[in-house]
């Protein structure tokens, strides 16, 4: 069994060199065949005793050439008994007769199969030379069979039989593989390492069966029919292995290479562990359009990932049969849109990959990406419907974006999802947009350890009242100084925690530290509430209310001493769960603040139905009050709206006296920003509170139960009517900003009236 060299197979690496090789081999084979014919023209013919065996063997050679046992449509391999009977004929009657019979069978088989004349000539020559190599090995052991003196193999000649079979296949496979190597530009060694598994089964079957057939032919020729089932089992086993390899490397729906084949091809191109010399690559036919390895032009190597947008709608509307048909059509269009040396693979579902070697520059990659998107964008006609299909494509280039296949694939995947998110069609990988880079994973691991070891610091930023300029609250802000990277911005590590599932642990940590500090302040007579930011995951956690109650009880802090800030964007989550959690917190007596108001999705209905005590106007509006009339109008109307709903208003980002004065004129309740104070460590904020918050006599706070009291009220404070510590002095300036909360005067006592 062998796969004959196909002239249409794969890209033409060097046609001129191939035809020269075919011409040399053909000339040598035909010359030797002609010499054998001339030299043995007058030799004695077979005896009457040997004639039946020879005739039957020759008929089987012709039959095997004309009627292969099996041919596989995917791999282009065929199982034929020609080889085993030709070797048997060599052992029976010698090289001249075996070569002539095989040549005649090849000519007849070529004519029947409509093969080109030069291909038939090449097959005749390769068989002649292969049989000659086996004959030379037999002659070394003084075995020279002729038609009138057939040879009967015995166990004493086992080594000669094995070596003759090896010589036959070594020459035959060399001639076939060398032709394929020249045609495709692949090294001979690489081809041999890929093909030897299948060919070893064929060689073993032929070398073992050929001498047995010879013995049977010498003594009982008609028993040869008993070998046909054995041959069938051998060859079908080899072909089944070959077919299973093809299936393991291809997608059954589209016949495109699959993820495994893509990896093998990419590792070959990138010079990764799948180097052809290591024998780990697929068969030459295993990559669909083009061979698994060939000569490619120099340049960048591109890996594209393409995903169909809204493919699920097709399956849900028209059924999975229509979805499969669409996938096949997309596969055909993508294969038609790429170059001959490119590989299109299906990774699964509606996701495809394209491997593109030899890209001269980034612009060429972008042009090819647009060509693929244009091919997909042409309307499809399915089941009587015209479908407009769009796709998102991510681009990653070697060596610019990665040097190893796994990293390149991940980067292409990141770029593809960015294209899907931005609806940009195609996007090239950008490390700045990669949320799952190794650096990010390392930072996440360090953040987890920092939480476990208590290395996350909590700083506090004060809030001041516009009414009397006193400090009426503080906000707890997380700060992280990395042991090697230095200060990590809160925006960086908070987003990291939110996207990784670490946010609940961070919230728990900040709550614990902040409430412990609040308990100390209240025992010292500084009755100011402390604000803590919570995330969407916290609000959507059904057990969050109980967690807050436990923390309050643990640190013996009244619910009114805690404000929870909820960013406006959390309102796009599970509305019912968020509402249930917020109502539970409000009934407990915890004050709620809607943070970053104006930047998210809050509506008047939201403000009316959810139990917020205050809103915090985002600094993006406050910072423009001095020069942007639109911002001024938005801030003024927001303050009026909140007051009409009974909500307190806090302005963030107050950094200069002019902004303070404008907000005071609009009737804003509280300010937070550098003008009031920067974010300070616990020791420094205590000094600020001692200076700007009049103290009351320390006393033990009233502690809620684990479930929290319903509608707990604040006790009057001794600091309710003192003269303001800021009154009569200029408003203090600070250096670092963040976000705070406050209380709704229509629902609860103002924060300056809270006492221990």
Domain of 289: which CATH number? 3.30.70.270
3-state secondary structure 10-77: CCCCCHHHHHHHHHHHHHHHHHHHHHHHHHCCCCCCCCCCCHHHHHHHHHHHHHHHHCCCEECCCCCC
Q: What total of structural domains would you count in the chain?
A: 3
Give domain status of residue 176, yes or no: yes
pLDDT for res 679: 92
Give domain status of residue 292, yes or no: yes
Q: Do 518 and 575 sit in the same domain of this protein?
A: yes
Domain of 585: which CATH number? 3.20.20.450
Residue length of the chain: 756
User: What is the three-class DSSP state of 593?
Assistant: strand
Give domain status of residue 233, yes or no: yes
Q: Do 455 and 369 sit in the same domain of this protein?
A: no
Domain finish residue from 433, 451, 469: 433
pLDDT tens profile 165-180: 889 888 988 998 888 8
Strand partners, 533: 565
> Within a 13 Å sphere around the CA of 156, how many CA atoms are in the beta-carbon half?
4
CB under 8 A, 24+ apart: contacts of 169-174: 169/130, 169/199, 169/202, 169/203, 169/206, 169/207, 170/133, 171/126, 171/129, 171/130, 171/132, 171/133, 172/2, 172/126, 172/127, 172/130, 173/2, 173/199
Q: Do 424 and 459 sit in the same domain of this protein?
A: no
Give domain status of residue 6, yes or no: no
DSSP per-residue codes, 70-96: EE-TTT--EE-SHHHHHHHHHHHH-HH
User: What is the three-class DSSP state of 428?
Assistant: strand
- pTM greater than the 0.75 cutoff: no
Q: Both tokens of residue 264?
A: 């093998």
Domain finish residue from 223, 248, 273: 248
Q: Do 580 and 636 sit in the same domain of this protein?
A: yes
Q: Can you give the C-alpha Rg of the chain in angstroms?
A: 42
pLDDT tens profile 634-687: 999 999 999 998 999 999 999 999 999 999 999 999 999 999 899 999 888 888
721: number of Cβ within 10 Å: 11
Q: Do 602 and 568 sit in the same domain of this protein?
A: yes
Boundaries of domain holding 38: 15-248
Q: Do 610 and 575 sit in the same domain of this protein?
A: yes
Give domain status of residue 383, yes or no: yes
Give domain status of residue 254, yes or no: no
Q: Do 481 and 367 sit in the same domain of this protein?
A: no
To which residue do tokens 């049977």 refer? Answer: 216
Distances (CA, A) of 666 to 467, 630, 673, 723, 747: 12, 14, 17, 23, 22
pLDDT for res 187: 76
3-state helix, strand, coil in the chain (%, to 5): 55, 15, 35
Domain finish residue from 376, 404, 433: 433
Q: Do 91 and 235 sit in the same domain of this protein?
A: yes
Which residues in the chain show pLDDT less than 50?
A: 1-12, 69-70, 72-75, 272-295, 697-756
* Measured distance CA(354)–CA(357) in Å, rounded: 10
pLDDT for res 476: 95
Give domain status of residue 729, yes or no: yes
């Amino acid at each position: 069994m062998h796969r004959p060299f196909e002239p249409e197979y794969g890209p033409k690496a060097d046609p001129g060199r191939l035809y020269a090789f075919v011409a040399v081999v053909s000339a040598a084979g035909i010359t030797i065949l002609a010499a054998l014919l001339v030299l043995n023209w007058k030799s004695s013919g077979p005896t009457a005793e040997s004639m039946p065996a020879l005739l039957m063997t020759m008929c089987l050679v012709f039959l095997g050439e004309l009627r292969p046992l099996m041919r596989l449509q995917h791999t282009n391999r065929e199982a034929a008994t020609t080889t085993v009977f030709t070797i048997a004929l060599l052992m029976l009657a010698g090289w001249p007769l075996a070569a002539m019979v095989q040549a005649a069978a090849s000519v007849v088989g070529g004519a029947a199969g409509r093969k080109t004349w030069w291909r038939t000539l090449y097959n005749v020559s390769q068989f002649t030379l292969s049989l000659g190599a086996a004959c030379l090995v037999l002659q070394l052991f003084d075995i020279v069979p002729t038609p009138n003196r057939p040879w009967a193999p015995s166990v004493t000649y086992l080594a000669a039989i094995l070596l003759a079979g090896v010589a036959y296949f070594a020459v035959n496979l060399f001639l076939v593989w060398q032709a394929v190597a020249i045609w495709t530009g692949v090294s001979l060694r690489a081809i041999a390492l890929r093909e030897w598994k299948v060919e070893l089964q064929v060689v073993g079957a032929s070398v073992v069966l050929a001498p047995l057939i010879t013995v049977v032919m010498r003594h009982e020729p008609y028993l040869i029919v008993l070998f046909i089932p054995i041959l069938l089992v051998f060859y079908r086993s080899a072909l089944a292995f070959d077919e299973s390899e093809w299936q393991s490397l291809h997608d059954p729906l589209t016949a495109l290479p699959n993820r495994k084949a893509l990896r093998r091809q990419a590792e070959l191109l990138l010079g990764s562990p799948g180097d052809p010399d290591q024998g780990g690559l697929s068969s030459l036919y295993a990559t669909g359009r083009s061979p698994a390895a060939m000569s490619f032009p120099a340049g960048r190597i591109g890996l594209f990932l393409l995903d169909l947008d809204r493919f699920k709608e097709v399956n849900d509307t028209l059924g999975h049969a229509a979805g499969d048909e669409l996938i096949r059509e997309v596969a055909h269009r993508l294969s038609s849109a790429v170059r001959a040396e490119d590989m299109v693979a299906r990774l699964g579902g509606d996701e495809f990959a394209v491997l593109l070697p030899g890209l001269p520059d980034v612009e060429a990659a972008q042009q090819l990406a647009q060509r693929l998107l244009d091919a997909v964008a042409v309307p499809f006609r399915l089941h009587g419907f015209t479908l407009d299909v769009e796709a998102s494509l991510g681009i990653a280039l070697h060596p610019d974006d990665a040097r190893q296949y796994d990293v390149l694939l991940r980067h292409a995947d990141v770029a593809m999802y960015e294209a899907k998110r931005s609806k940009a069609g195609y996007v090239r990988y950008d490390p700045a947009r990669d949320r799952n880079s190794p650096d990010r994973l390392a930072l996440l691991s360090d953040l987890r350890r920092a939480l476990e070891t208590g290395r996350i610091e909590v700083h506090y930023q004060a809030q001041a009242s516009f009414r009397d300029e006193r400090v009426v609250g503080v906000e707890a802000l997380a700060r992280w100084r990395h042991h090697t990277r230095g200060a990590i911005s809160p925006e960086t590590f908070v987003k990291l925690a939110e996207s990784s599932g670490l946010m609940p642990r961070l919230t728990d940590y900040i709550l614990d530290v902040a409430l412990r500090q609040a308990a100390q302040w209240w025992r010292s007579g500084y009755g100011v509430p402390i604000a803590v930011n919570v995330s969407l995951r916290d609000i959507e956690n059904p057990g969050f209310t109980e967690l807050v109650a436990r923390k309050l009880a643990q640190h013996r802090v009244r619910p009114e001493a805690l404000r929870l800030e909820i960013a406006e964007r959390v309102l796009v989550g599970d509305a019912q769960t968020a509402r249930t959690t917020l109502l539970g917190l409000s009934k407990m007596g915890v004050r709620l603040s809607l943070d970053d108001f104006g930047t998210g999705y809050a509506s008047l209905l939201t403000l009316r139905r959810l139990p917020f005590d205050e809103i915090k106007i985002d600094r993006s509006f406050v910072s423009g009050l001095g020069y942007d009339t639109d911002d001024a109008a938005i801030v003024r109307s927001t303050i009026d709206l909140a007051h009409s709903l009974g909500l307190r208003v806090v302005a963030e980002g107050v950094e200069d006296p002019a902004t303070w004065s404008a907000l005071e004129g609009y009737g804003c309740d509280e300010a937070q920003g550098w003008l009031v104070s920067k974010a300070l460590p616990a020791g420094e904020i205590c000094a600020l509170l001692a200076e700007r918050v009049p103290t009351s006599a320390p006393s033990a706070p009233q502690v809620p139960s684990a479930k929290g009291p319903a509608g707990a009220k604040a006790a009057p404070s001794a600091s309710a009517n003192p003269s303001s510590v800021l009154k009569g002095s200029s408003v203090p300036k600070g250096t670092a900003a963040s976000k705070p909360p406050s209380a709704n005067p229509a629902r609860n006592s103002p924060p300056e009236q809270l006492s221990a």
